[in-house]
Structure 1
């Protein structure tokens, strides 16, 4: 007589190999960043959604990416150069302000859009699982397309001034080598700040209002509408604590040949960016486990 197991079939241990195992994350450093690569198709879909939906059903469409910085630059030229008579380091005012607003717009847009990750996507997050970091990452990438359009406007303006014989000194070798670095720093810094704010707004909604006008005030603590060279030593040290200061100055130095650029300052910005992004990912990872209870 053959032996039979006393264990009911319903409670017998299964030996099946599962393709996906969903289990709770308990540690601060259990980030599972490799999931971002596995969900890269979803990242691409979100990038397309963010870019297309922004100006869907508008008359001018993506042309707003050019109109907005152009109108901002013209306004700065009239007010700060024409009325206030602020220095532009000997550069054409239109070109000076455009070279400042282009990197700043990319950073500020990354911060403001990623700062609403949890509140704006609560419905999606509550229905299906995917790495939540996919959403802010897709925003940074889609905003990079917007930056590319505005960057092309800057290059076109730079080319026009060079053809007019304006004394500019772009460093072509540095442009090739440093442009990817500067874009990476701007995007990573914006992502880091944005996901930190997004994580905190799940409990403290007041921060969303702070970001709205805080990012506008922060622009005046960054040499966007004035050169760092005109700031007195008393205040320059404080401005240099702003990590975007060195990035904007480096951007102008590379493309226009003017600006207060130094590798130590850019190194400080890089370290600040890495720390901010790492802290943001840790907090974001911790909050995503319980955010549905508070949103």
Structure 2
């Protein structure tokens, strides 16, 4: 009698349709789009939280998004153009620097915020389950608002210089701007997830991130044109080394699209696309592996 009841219970359990099934991950690289979509409300909540807390209890609020690139570009204009006499491919240097800073701040903010994912959210991660990858995704999406404000400011400044006859109209390649942003988001996410995973064991990396990002800016054509570096390296036959930085071609393509001048090659663009995909998948692999037991080491 007991065996009959047990079999009936097993059959009834098999016939039931479960809403959720928790199973161990079998793939090294796993990005469950259905699960992320299921938690889309939580993703939007984190995005809203990041936006609100950024300028909460500040006097100027979102105006800080404009002050940062404006002051940075003015200082770079004085130091690198007026004092160091660095060329800018015939483009007004302030506009040239503003274009580079607009793109750079999006990358650096996404990278720095993503690289601190496990440490800054350890209290939440230790209490409730949700797809951990939502955290770095929310940072990338919330930074789009900041980029949008700075980008509109750059467009206004660009048309001001066009009206003054000191700049040319943008090229049709500006339609690829969303793709450039996507590639930069993938690179920042990939690097950020790797660093975030490593900082759960090696806290020293936390102190190196801010310093490293500053150094990386000078390896990227933000305050100088790539043509200047190519000109210096060409006599030695090393001019293509500049394109090993995956951001180089992206920045130059952006400047070419909006300012009409930029030094990039087909090899450089293809390399940047491949690199962004590979580093994102690698970061996701390390991130998925670390999230299983990071709470024991963080």
Q: TM-score, normalised by structure 1?
A: 0.93
8 A Cα contact 1:199 1:284, kept in partner: yes
Match in the other structure for 1:193: 191
Q: Which residue is equivalent to 1:271?
A: 274
In structure 2, the partner of 1:138 is: 138
**2-side partners of 1:249 and 1:64: how far apart?**
26
CA distance 1:60–1:236, change in 2 (3 Å): farther
Residues 29, 281 of structure 2: 8 Å contact kept = no
Match of 1:225 in 2: 223
Check whether the contact 1:104–1:224 (CA below 8 A) recurs between aligned residues. Answer: yes
Q: How does 1:195-210 map to 2 (within 5 A)?
A: 195-210=193-208
Moved more, 20-29 or 181-190: 20-29
Question: Where do 1:217-256 residues align within 5 Å?
Answer: 217-231=215-229, 232-233=232-233, 234=236, 236-256=239-259
Alignment of 1:41 with 2:41, yes or no, is: yes
Partner residue of 2:293?
A: 290
1:170, CA displacement in angstroms?
1.8
Question: How far off its partner does 1:169 sit?
Answer: 4.5
Q: Deviations over 1:40-85 (max 9, x none)?
A: 1111111111011111000001100000110000000010001111
**Distance (Å, rounded) in 1 between the aligned partners of 2:27 and 2:269:** 33
The number of residue pairs the alignment matches comes to 289
Q: Over aligned residue pairs, what C-alpha RMSD do you find?
A: 1.7
State the distance in 1 between where 2:265 and 2:241 align: 16
Query: In the TM superposition, what are the counterparts of 1:87-102 in structure 2 within 5 Å?
Result: 87-102=87-102
**What is aligned with 1:127?**
127
Deviation at 1:6, TM superposition (A): 4.5
Out of 275, 280, 284, the residue aligned to residue 283 of structure 2 is 280
| 1:90-111 residue CA offsets vs partner (Å, 9 max, x unmatched) | 1111100001111111111111
Instruction: List runs of 5+ in structure 2 lacking aligned partners.
Output: none
Q: Residues 214-257 of structure 1: CA distance to partner in whole angstroms, max 9, x if unpaired?
A: 01000000111111111112564332110001111111000000
2:57 paired residue number: 57
Instruction: Structure 1: state its 5+ residue gaps.
Output: none
Q: CA deviation at 1:261?
A: 2.4
Following the alignment from structure 1 to structure 2, what is the Cα–Cα distance between the partners of residues 75 and 268? 32
Please say if 1:175 is aligned against 2:178: no
Per-residue CA deviation, residues 106-146 of structure 1 (Å, 9 max, x unaligned), is 11111100000000000000111000000000000001111
Could you tell which deviates more after superposition, 203-212 or 31-40?
Answer: 31-40
2:160 and 2:215 mapped to 1: Cα distance? 32
How far apart, in 1, do the equivalents of 2:174 and 2:280 lie? Answer: 25
Moved more, 19-28 or 86-95: 19-28
CA displacement at 1:22 relative to structure 2? 1.9
Offset of residue 19 of structure 1: 1.2
Deviation at 1:203, TM superposition (A): 0.9
Higher mean alpha-carbon deviation, 253-262 vs 71-80, is at: 253-262
Q: Please say if residues 228 and 236 of structure 1, whose CA atoms lie closer than 8 Å, have aligned partners that are also in contact.
A: no
Aligned partner of residue 257 in structure 2, secondary structure: helix
1:261 to 261, 264, 269: 264
**110-119 or 26-35, larger mean C-alpha shift:** 26-35
* Residues 19-34 of structure 1: pairs in structure 2 closer than 5 A: 19-34=19-34
